[in-house]
Structure 1
Amino acid sequence: MKLLAIPPSLNIRFVTVLLLAMGLSTPGIGEITSLDSGNIDDILNNAGVALVNFYADWCRFSQMLHPIFEEASNVVREEFPNTKQVVFARVDCDQHSDIAQRYRITKYPTLKLFRNGMMMKREYRGQRSVVAIADFIRQQQVDPVKEIHSLEEINALDRSKRNIIAYFETKDSEHYHTYEKVANILRDDCTFLGAFGTVSESERFSGDNIIFKPVGESAPDMIYLSSLNNFDLSFAWAQDKCVPLVREITFENGEELTEEGIPFLILFHVKEDTESLEKFQHEVARQLISEKGSINFLHADCDKFRHPLLHIQKTPADCPVIAIDSFRHMYVFSNFKDIEFPGMLRQFVLDLHSGKLHREFHHGPDPTDITPGQEDTAGEVASSPPESSFQKLQPSETRYTILKRERDEL
């Protein structure tokens, strides 16, 4: 029996249809904007939402993502035809290493989300598929401000979350547009609500206003006192309220926190032990506010993070415990109760920055720190500090696959 020969063009068409069904290819040319140092600021600043693919041509995962990214762009463009509402863009990091360095791109491909030119903390880490990427963009288009229809709803707010409530005469105002822009950027950190017209009238005795309701039933409200039209002032105020000085680290946000690239000062505490957490928060604010940009202040559930505790020869029974993870080694604070002694917690952090903690682990106490009767041990070499545990929450070498990577536990 003679077999029919299939023309090469039909072979290609069949493969294309098959790949499309799998979400791995796209017909035509996707609407992807190539960014360079000359156009990046203009394009991102004028985009409501921009999803940017930072890639390298030699990376096979980058090559696999290209057709998926293009097809997702086509799908999204059909739903959101306004070219400034949603932008899909890409950066060749080999050709534009200055841009890669600017946004701290170290692995390829990396998908970063921008709003009005501002890069969001949380990059896209979902499945590398057309459906998942399109769904992610749809979620970004959901109104970040929940409208209040009755002031009674405020009494039913979840006070375990940070809530910002705005009272406006109308939605069609510069005040509201500025508030909405702030809410879009901080939507993952706070709950934003808005009351309008007659619903908000009783709260607008001196005009439109915004208040912050902190966590806790008894926590007093805080009022925004600066210009409602000024985005920079509004954003700075809301960010200060929505992003706490001491954040909780979990397995879900650990990768994001490690990508900030600065060491951790961590309080390990039993979840129910709120008293120790409050003391830690108070002392961090009192002693370490000036170090905010050089170290992350975190708290962690002792039970969930047993493994890092074992690294420093502690168990949940020893909590509360304070430690520094430098992404190279871990160092333990002498005694939790010592945080209330003036300057001790601050000195612990300064000793990390100066290299003293690492030096003393290897070579014993510095000569000026030797206590009477300890002189004979000054020259002894101490044991090496425990290796970093939280470094393991950084993106793995196998992170960039078509399917979402399962998180390995510490």
Structure 2
Amino acid sequence: MKLLVVAALAALVAVVSASGDPTESLPGVQDLTPDNFDKFVNGAKHALVEFYAPWCGHCKHLVPEYKMLGEAIAKDPSLKNRVVIAKVNADSHRSLGERFGVSGFPTIKWFSRGKPVTTDAAEAYNKGRSLDAFLEFIKEKLDADKGFARVEALDKLAQAFVAEGADKDKVAADVKAAAAKVDKDQAANAKLYVEAIEKALARGVEYFEKEQGRLQRMIDSGSVAAGKVDSFAAKVSVLSAFTEKPEAAAAAAKSDDDDDDEEL
């Protein structure tokens, strides 16, 4: 009997020690309020946001894992420049909870880069609440968004440039002309297509794959200065327009068309 009591107390201590105060500031985790929410969650980056209540037992148990998640993202250059990890005291800031349809705690939502910050666009996170589960989910999302810097109007020309027997000088001229016509917010990425093609004209089409691999290895190694990770990632993204197989490009285009149809 005594052994059972001791075991029960030990289990209780373990549960208590494995929880924390949800309102505590955590490294790598942004605390959001109605005043700063749109500053950090605005479609410029992906965002994983926990909506919690200080009194919620499950929210307390989540603290250690969420703390480790914030630390892991902050230490990884390839992640911290593309993902925001955040939390909201939705008990104190009920307007934010109501804005995103939060009806229980904790509610965790994923806001994808490039999409409107709305209830309909936000994806409910329903997977495991361990560090490994969070990281697996985030990396899957980022892998699916490797084309974040791609410009649709230039992707077909990129594929035309690498096609066997292509008149590369003509395609290069077409790319320059098309890049000059893109919207202002796509101009910087369009310029990357032009720069990549100019280098490939001098070095051969092997340049695309070699440079993509070189930049990705540098990002993954953590050797790139924080301020340059975004530009490196954008270059890798644009280079993928030249290196992906034609069938993959066609599938991606079809997927984009299907998404557009659903939005309509």
TM-score relative to the length of structure 1: 0.33
Whichever structure has more helix as a proportion of its residues is 2
TM-score relative to the length of structure 2: 0.49
- Name which structure has the greater RCO, CA cutoff 8 Å, separation 6+: 2
Structure showing greater Rg: 1
